[in-house]
Amino acid sequence: MRKKIGRKIYDTDKSDYIGRNSEGLYGDPTGFEEFMYKKGQADFFLLVSGGPESQYPTEDILPLSVEDAEEWIGRVLGAEAVAEFVTDKDRNPAPAKKAARKTTTSKKTSSKKAKESKSQKK
């Protein structure tokens, strides 16, 4: 499944699968499934679906914070698995770099300066 949320695109085919949680039996209207994926550094999400009376009546993608991902992995896969899937870089990501803004002068301004300097030299 692929879904755009805000400015991010979540795609199960291009993300790393972590694990699955299933509640209830097949056909249970209150049953559901959660599949966890990791898209990149500190970027976890769940693919969820379930019966019509469950907390996930339609298939959807839900982004998770690193803390929520750690809790889910610990609860579903065990405490040892948290260290396997959540790294220190996930917990303390480097601050995003801001792109440097280029300062440009318009051609009119530069041509005016050139004309002024020529007239001053005369």
- pLDDT tens string 70-93: 999 999 999 999 999 999 999 887
Which stretches of 1-122 are DSSP H helices? Answer: 66-76, 79-85, 88-91, 107-121
Q: Return d(Cα 71, Cα 91) in angstroms, integer.
A: 13
**Res 53: pLDDT:** 96
Name the nearest CA neighbour of 42 among 94, 81, 112: 94
Which residue's entry shows tokens 């896969």?
Answer: 77
Q: Where are the beta strands (DSSP E) in 6-87?
A: 8-11, 16-23, 32-40, 43-50, 60-64
pLDDT one-digit tens code per residue, 50-73: 999 999 999 999 999 999 999 999
Q: Would you say 72 and 36 are in contact if contact means Cβ atoms under 8 Å apart? A: yes
pTM: 0.74
First CA to last CA distance, the chain: 71
Q: Return d(Cα 49, Cα 56) in angstroms, integer.
A: 5
